[in-house]
Amino acid sequence: MYDSAEPGGNPYAPRLVAAGQTFDVIEVDARLGREVVKHLRAAGVRVGPVIHDRRCAKMGFLVPVTGPDRTRLRDQRGPSRHGLGAWVTFPPPRGGSGPLVWHIAPSENAVPTPLGPLDAAIARAAASLIQHD
C-alpha cells in the first residue's frame, strides 16, 4: 500500500501522495522523532511507516486519518499534522540514499501508528530530551 511504485513509473523516485484519505502524517523534528520511535517500541506499540526528511531534519509518522477537526497538537514549534488537502512526498519505494528516506519502511502488512500512543510518546520523548539538554 505505502511502498508500491506507480505502474510503469521509476521505482527509485519519490512520489507525491494525497494525505487525509488512507493516512495522515504527524511531523516532528528528527531528533524528537528518533526518541519517539524508542518510546513507542519500549511501550510495545507497533510503529507504522516513518518518513525521514534528512534535508529538513524532520520525521513524519503515518497515522490513521484523523478528520478536519483534530487540532490537539501543541503549537507551531511542535508536531504538525498533514491531513485532508495536504500532499506528502513518499521516499522511493526501493530504497535510496537521497535526502528523503524511510526511517521505518512500510511492509506488506504495514498499518499506521496509533494516534493515542503516538501523542503520549511525543510528550514523553520531548520531556526526556529537555532533561538531557
What confidence tier does 69 reach under pLDDT thresholds 50, 70, 90?
very low
Cα–Cα dist 47/41, whole Å: 7
- The residue ranges of every structural domain in the chain are 15-132
What confidence tier does 32 reach under pLDDT thresholds 50, 70, 90?
very high
What is the SS3 assignment for 50-89? EEEECCCCEEEEEECCCCCCCCCCCCCCCCEEECCCCEEE
Q: What percent of the chain has pLDDT over 70?
A: 83
User: How many other CB atoms are there within 10 angstroms of residue 77's CB atom?
Assistant: 7
Residue 14 above 90 pLDDT? Answer: no
* Residues pairing with 62 in the sheet: 25
Tens digits of residue pLDDT in 70-127: 445 545 567 899 999 999 999 987 777 789 999 999 988 889 999 999 999 999 999 9
Residue 15 above 60 pLDDT? Answer: yes
Q: pLDDT higher for 32 or 95?
A: 32
> Which residue bears the cell 537521497?
98
Query: What confidence score (pLDDT) does residue 11 get?
Result: 73
Query: What confidence score (pLDDT) does residue 76 get?
Result: 52
Query: What confidence score (pLDDT) does residue 13 get?
Result: 82
pTM to 2 decimals? 0.86
